């Protein structure tokens, strides 16, 4: 995904990296994802405090190469799962604003890393769910994704075009497309989005 550099906002990538897989692995895996999810216009919205969002990422051949699942509970507990195309785990992170703690899993060693959650890290990871930054462009249309009405925004940056479908009133991107020189190179599309409180067990480390 290095070729997506012109559109990438480095401020969104995780700060205060610990050793091993803690933030470094998540940083690498989310590099392409944040381009699609976050280069979106601002929406005056009531962001949901409880929700689950699952997104499929497709390459230029239309093949799914990964999924990312997001779980938010009470606006204070957040989990990101990065999955292979067969939905096996590549990495995940749990962020507990209510306890000031975060955990990540190294799938290779099956070991968890725990660390203190600072406010800056919380702000950064929660922005992988909500569309809060943008390159100012106008609305170009409306579509429905998973039966949610969405506003479509088009952004251009040299040879790159990003199309973002933002759920009306929710500030969440449900579909995005990256186009380079007139050719689609990556698509993100939500396959599940529910505004319900996720299970408490998702925010605890299995013992």
Segment 68-79, tens digit of pLDDT? 999 999 999 999
The rounded distance, in Å, linking the Cα atoms of 97 and 122 is 7
Radius of gyration, CA atoms only, the chain: 16
Neighbouring CB atoms inside 10 A of 205's CB total: 10
The secondary structure of 39-86 as a DSSP string is B---------SSEEEEEEEE-TTS-EEEEEEEEEETTTEEEEEEEETT
Q: What pLDDT score was predicted for residue 131?
A: 78
Nearest to 194 by CA among 176, 175, 170, 178: 170
Distances (CA, A) of 34 to 54, 119, 198: 14, 19, 23
Nearest to 26 by CA among 121, 91, 84: 91
Q: Dig out the tokens for 15 from the structure.
A: 């700060």
pLDDT exceeds 80 at position 13:
no
User: Whole-structure pTM over 0.95, yes or no?
Assistant: no
**Percentage of the chain modeled with pLDDT above 70:** 74
Nearest to 188 by CA among 80, 25, 69: 69
Mean pLDDT in the chain? 80
């Amino acid at each position: 995904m290095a070729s997506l550099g012109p559109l990438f906002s480095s401020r969104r990538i995780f700060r205060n990296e610990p050793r091993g897989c803690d933030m470094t692995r998540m940083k690498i895996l989310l590099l392409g994802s944040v381009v699609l999810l976050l280069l979106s216009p601002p929406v005056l919205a009531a962001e949901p405090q409880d929700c689950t969002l699952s997104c499929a990422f497709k390459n230029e051949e239309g093949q799914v190469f990964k999924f990312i699942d997001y779980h938010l509970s009470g606006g204070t507990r957040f989990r990101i799962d990065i999955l292979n195309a067969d939905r096996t785990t590549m990495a995940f992170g749990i962020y507990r604003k209510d306890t000031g703690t975060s955990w990540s899993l190294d799938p290779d060693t099956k070991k968890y890393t725990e660390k203190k959650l600072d406010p800056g890290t919380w702000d950064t990871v929660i922005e992988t769910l909500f569309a809060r930054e943008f390159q100012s462009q106008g609305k170009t249309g409306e579509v429905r994704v998973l039966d949610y009405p969405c506003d479509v925004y088009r952004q251009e940056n040299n040879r790159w075009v990003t199309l973002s479908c933002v759920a009306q009133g929710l500030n969440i991107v449900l579909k995005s497309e990256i186009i380079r020189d007139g050719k689609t190179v990556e698509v993100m599309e939500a396959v599940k989005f529910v505004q319900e409180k996720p299970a408490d067990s998702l925010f605890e480390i299995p013992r």
